[in-house]
Chains A and B, each alone.
Chain A
């Protein structure tokens, strides 16, 4: 290792020795792990999405049989092709669980964080490569457990992605598997987050001070702290719920609970609200885990395609840090309707209003970054631009939910579903698409096709809004979420055309993903080859690595000479000055 000059041939010889399994399956290379995370997460996203496609049938055409589906799914789920209420609940619960914990987070953090972050800080790998691999495998097993739960008696969890007690305490055995799966996923993100933080603090390459880090790295840094500190309380909650279910304790069961006309035998004395506190203590920071990496990706793509420095780099970073800290103090805004008392409500209403401010600041900075730019409308840029208004709708619709008076009306309606999907679906998922189109050439050495990309973008944009905009209206009109038969109430019956419209938009949204899937695989072999390591003329370090980067990333450790987004510096010959190139 001491002869740096001879490093290369030695290195390659070393590569030959690794068998297929060690190189592609049980690899400790952060890039391979990132790709594993990415592919697994995309599969789960698709699976979670299909669950809701099924559920949308029941909402659009309540009780209308689909004979062939009934034959496939069997008597337990869809006898005679009619969806059972229990199955409806399973679809909803598992959709939420899979999308959040097995889809978005693993893609945003596990895949993009793992692949891009070490490259952006000029490190040869993560600080703990073996632990990094373990993190993926815990995730994988957690996913398998969740899938397995579909086949246990009584089916998978059906208490919503929030698994509220006491309902979840007395649910069939699928709920136990849900908890076991969650413990694996929590362990996975614990191992991952330790790795991220240590890597970012300890392994930045020469010259890369904190104030020269790309926004994406900052976003991953704060996200890792959220995962590290917010997930353990959910683990504690999962342990307590497991005890309730397996050892007959009553942590979350109140005294005198009657189920189906029968007193249940437990001692009681527990508190259903305790679960909600523990759950939301995780799950509010979790929503920032869902959004911060997306913001980071959007910042990278916007800087690159506006050919200008980001407007207010430091402001953005401080806002991200502020959000990170503050996100631990707002959780009970999900519990205004639980009767926890006005003092508590006022406190959490206030903190919620405060935390909205940095989100608005970030959004404004990104918007101002567009001002006066000669924008390159590449596919990643289209997704990044669309992120801005979509996230804005998501964030702004959060404000009425954060105020107790208006939340009384909106809580547990379709409005809430509309609110957070605007943030996560056309928000985060668009950011993730931007990231895929942006970094694909670094990973594969080939570009994604931009015609297919643009078709994918425009169709997705239209149908995303077709799905989520009507939900806001439904909610304001008083439609409850999670109703099995939306026509059961007179106002629901009157709103039924909305349900149909949303379902059709959702199915068309699914079809709109076909160009992406084709593009993704076709371009791997047939896409236009990149002619340089830096096809987007970008400034950050990942573009200085060979394409695709070898094990160890950089032939020699790179050095950093300037801030991350020095585009169009006056007096320079080219319109970008990479961090890694020394100039006079």
Chain B
């Protein structure tokens, strides 16, 4: 049995099922992070004192570096998809591989940031500021890990589909890309909210 529009676009909506599905998924993610950001606002407004991230030891240079790393990974993700569209599988592998490496780079920097905090005996339980800092960045970190898993699968065993069904595979890369841009975007919000404001 063949599911209609699982690869080809539906003539009315102009997109295949998967693309619709990933947009809906991202809509729910917006609600998830939206709720957390709203909680942040509520807690901050209700607090007697609220520190600036930089005054309590958050490193703006490291976070800026990480912002660059994630933006770069979004660019390589697009390049990976574009390479597929131009039928250049080797280049695709290269760019997707780079995306995965950059994501790892992000996590390594994050790891150093976290351990620096722990060395100074700073934990989520230290203050409401650090509670929300660890929760938001932790949840975002989980999303990065999720992206690494998906992308690694598509780089490795999942890439077999390219030979039998190139369109389906290119779609999958596109969806993974949409998700990855979203993860990037969340960080673009987290960075100023936690480190700068």
Given contacts A203-B5, A236-B35, contact A250 B131 (CB under 8 A): yes
B-chain residues with CB within 8 Å of residue A511 when the two chains form the complex: none
From A131, A229, A269, give the contact of B27 (CB < 8 A).
A229
- A251 and B43 within 8 A (CB): yes
A-chain residues with CB within 8 Å of residue B18 when the two chains form the complex: 128
A-chain residues with CB within 8 Å of residue B126 when the two chains form the complex: 267
- 9 A-B contacts (beta carbon < 8 Å): A190-B25, A194-B21, A228-B31, A229-B28, A232-B31, A239-B139, A251-B128, A251-B132, A267-B127
- A127 and B17 within 8 A (CB): yes
- A127 and B28 within 8 A (CB): no
- A269 and B47 within 8 A (CB): yes
From B34, B123, B131, give the contact of A251 (CB < 8 A).
B131
Complex interface: stretch among A17-25, A87-95, A241-249, A529-537: A241-249
- B127 and A229 within 8 A (CB): no
Closest A residue to B127 by CB, please name it. Answer: A267
Cα distance, A60 to B161, chains bound together (Å): 64
- B17 and A125 within 8 A (CB): no
- Given A203-B4, A277-B42, 13 extra CB contacts under 8 A: A190-B28, A198-B17, A198-B20, A201-B20, A230-B31, A236-B32, A236-B35, A236-B36, A243-B124, A247-B123, A249-B124, A249-B131, A251-B132
A-chain residues with CB within 8 Å of residue B35 when the two chains form the complex: 232-233, 236-237, 278, 281
Closest A residue to B37 by CB, please name it. Answer: A236
Cα distance, A223 to B17, chains bound together (Å): 19
Instruction: Say if the beta carbon of A235 comes within 8 Å of chain B.
Output: yes
Cα distance, A502 to B147, chains bound together (Å): 54
- B39 and A236 within 8 A (CB): yes
Chain B contacts with A in 5-44, Cβ cutoff 8 A? 5-6, 10, 13, 17-18, 20-21, 24-25, 27-29, 31-36, 39, 42-43
B-chain residues with CB within 8 Å of residue A274 when the two chains form the complex: 39, 42-43
Instruction: Say if the beta carbon of A270 comes within 8 Å of chain B.
Output: yes
Instruction: Say if the beta carbon of A551 comes within 8 Å of chain B.
Output: yes
- B21 and A127 within 8 A (CB): yes
User: Interface on chain B toward A: helix, strand, loop, or mixed SS?
Assistant: helix
Instruction: Say if the beta carbon of A397 comes within 8 Å of chain B.
Output: no
Question: A-contacting residues of B (Cβ < 8 Å)?
Answer: 1-6, 10, 13, 17-18, 20-21, 24-25, 27-29, 31-36, 39, 42-43, 46-48, 123-128, 131-132, 134-135, 139
B-chain residues with CB within 8 Å of residue A395 when the two chains form the complex: none
Closest B residue to A205 by CB, please name it. Answer: B4
Most buried by A among B28, B42, B135: B28
B-chain residues with CB within 8 Å of residue A128 when the two chains form the complex: 17-18, 21
Minimum distance in angstroms from A429 CB to a CB of chain B: 28
- B6 and A127 within 8 A (CB): yes
User: Interface on chain A toward B: helix, strand, loop, or mixed SS?
Assistant: helix
Closest A residue to B126 by CB, please name it. Answer: A267
Minimum distance in angstroms from A423 CB to a CB of chain B: 25
Cα distance, A117 to B134, chains bound together (Å): 42
- B43 and A127 within 8 A (CB): no
A-chain residues with CB within 8 Å of residue B24 when the two chains form the complex: 193-194, 197-198, 228
A-chain residues with CB within 8 Å of residue B125 when the two chains form the complex: 247-250, 266-267
- A552 and B1 within 8 A (CB): yes
Given contacts A194-B25, A274-B43, contact A551 B128 (CB under 8 A): no
> Which 3 A-B pairs have CB atoms at the shortest separation, nearest pair first?
A248-B125, A233-B35, A249-B131
Instruction: Say if the beta carbon of A1 comes within 8 Å of chain B.
Output: yes
Given contacts A202-B13, A243-B124, A267-B125, contact A249 B135 (CB under 8 A): yes
B-chain residues with CB within 8 Å of residue A237 when the two chains form the complex: 35
Question: B-contacting residues of A (Cβ < 8 Å)?
Answer: 1, 11, 123-125, 127-129, 131, 190, 193-195, 197-198, 201-203, 228-233, 235-237, 239-240, 243, 247-251, 266-267, 269-271, 274, 277-278, 281, 551-552
- A198 and B21 within 8 A (CB): yes
Given contacts A247-B125, A251-B128, contact A228 B28 (CB under 8 A): yes
Cα distance, A213 to B174, chains bound together (Å): 32
- B123 and A248 within 8 A (CB): yes
- B20 and A240 within 8 A (CB): no
A-chain residues with CB within 8 Å of residue B4 when the two chains form the complex: 123-124, 202-203
Cα distance, A232 to B32, chains bound together (Å): 5
Cα distance, A1 to B4, chains bound together (Å): 12
Minimum distance in angstroms from A162 CB to a CB of chain B: 17
Cα distance, A11 to B1, chains bound together (Å): 8
- B43 and A201 within 8 A (CB): no
Minimum distance in angstroms from B10 CB to a CB of chain A: 5
Closest B residue to A7 by CB, please name it. Answer: B1
Minimum distance in angstroms from B125 CB to a CB of chain A: 3
Minimum distance in angstroms from A273 CB to a CB of chain B: 9
Minimum distance in angstroms from B20 CB to a CB of chain A: 5
Most buried by A among B33, B39, B134: B39
Closest B residue to A249 by CB, please name it. Answer: B131
Most buried by A among B24, B127, B134: B24
Cα distance, A267 to B130, chains bound together (Å): 11
Cα distance, A129 to B128, chains bound together (Å): 43
Minimum distance in angstroms from A482 CB to a CB of chain B: 27
- A270 and B135 within 8 A (CB): no
- A243 and B31 within 8 A (CB): no
Closest B residue to A552 by CB, please name it. Answer: B1
